[in-house]
Amino acid sequence: MFNPEAIFHRLLYLPLFILALSVHEWAHAWMAHRLGDDTARLQGRLTLNPLAHIDPIGTIVMPVFIGFIGWAKPVPFTPVALSRKVSMRTGIMLVALAGPVSNLIQAFVGAILFGLVAGIAFRASHGGDIGWFDIFQDFAVRFISLNCMLAVFNLIPINPLDGSKVLYGILPRKAGDALIDNEFLTKWGFLILMVIFVAASPVAEVLLWPAEALTHLLFRFGSLIAGLIA
């Protein structure tokens, strides 16, 4: 886990992880702004600049030394500032959902770009070997995989993950309030998930199997685009 080769390998892909997290946090801020809450914008978080979102431990140390599980600085959000265009419960759900949706969009765009570049490259090379293509494909698959993983992980309905707020907006009011107000999960939920993902890999694999399936599907989609072009 801590060998130099693994650390170097993770450092290569770290910019992809930072990009995925930065867009995720920006999406939260954008949705909140669209719904009338300017808290994030006033604190400089309505930006794609990674420097505004990086958490030194969650965005750098954890991904490099443990693996690509981590977090960025949470976007500040004031539900009572939302406009009356939507209910507060719906607003909270939409702001939370914006982050995982942004990761799914990134993964989809990544698959399209992979397909376009691969198709054009093979067409230009007349089917010959392309020296840089294996590296490009590796980064493209990693980018798609990271975003699928972040989307699925954040949709786990355990406070404080986005999935708990999404479920809060769907459940009947009493059940939703009980979920959000659960003090044990609010305090320890994220730590429990970190322990599971670091120390109990079989459980983590079960929780993230939709991310693996989605990554495979999107890669096949990108390959289909490449085949149509080539």
The more confident residue out of 211 and 191 is: 211
Q: Residue 205 catalytic?
A: no
On the 0-12 / 13-18 / 19+ scale of CB atoms within 10 A, 57 is exposed
Residues 103-124 have pLDDT tens digits of 999 999 999 999 999 988 888 8
- The residue assigned the tokens 């989809």 is 108
pLDDT at 84 over 60: yes
Q: Within a 13 Å sphere around the CA of 66, how many CA atoms are in the beta-carbon half?
A: 18
Domain count, the chain: 1
Residues 136-156 have a mean pLDDT of 93
Q: In the numeric block, which tokens belong to residue 194?
A: 């970190």
Catalytic residue among 5, 25, 205, 212: 25
Return the closest-CA partner of residue 98 out of 4, 184, 42, 28: 28
**Nearest-angstrom CA–CA distance, 57 and 61:** 5
Q: How far apart are the first and last CA of the chain?
A: 40
Return the closest-CA partner of residue 218 out of 115, 84, 95, 80: 115
pLDDT at 135 over 80: yes
Sign of CA dihedral 200, 180, 176, 210: negative
By residue range, what is the domain housing residue 190? 4-229
Q: In the numeric block, which tokens belong to residue 120?
A: 């054009």
Q: Within a 13 Å sphere around the CA of 101, how many CA atoms are in the beta-carbon half?
A: 12
Torsion, CA 150, CA 206, CA 69, CA 45, rounded to 10: 30
Residues 26-67 have pLDDT tens digits of 999 999 999 999 999 999 999 999 999 999 999 999 888 877
pLDDT at 1 over 60: no
How distant, in Å, are the alpha carbons of 83, 157, 190, 219, 228 from that of 145?
A: 36, 21, 21, 9, 23
pLDDT at 130 over 60: yes
Q: What is the maximal distance between C-alpha atoms in the chain?
A: 63
**Nearest-angstrom CA–CA distance, 93 and 170:** 8
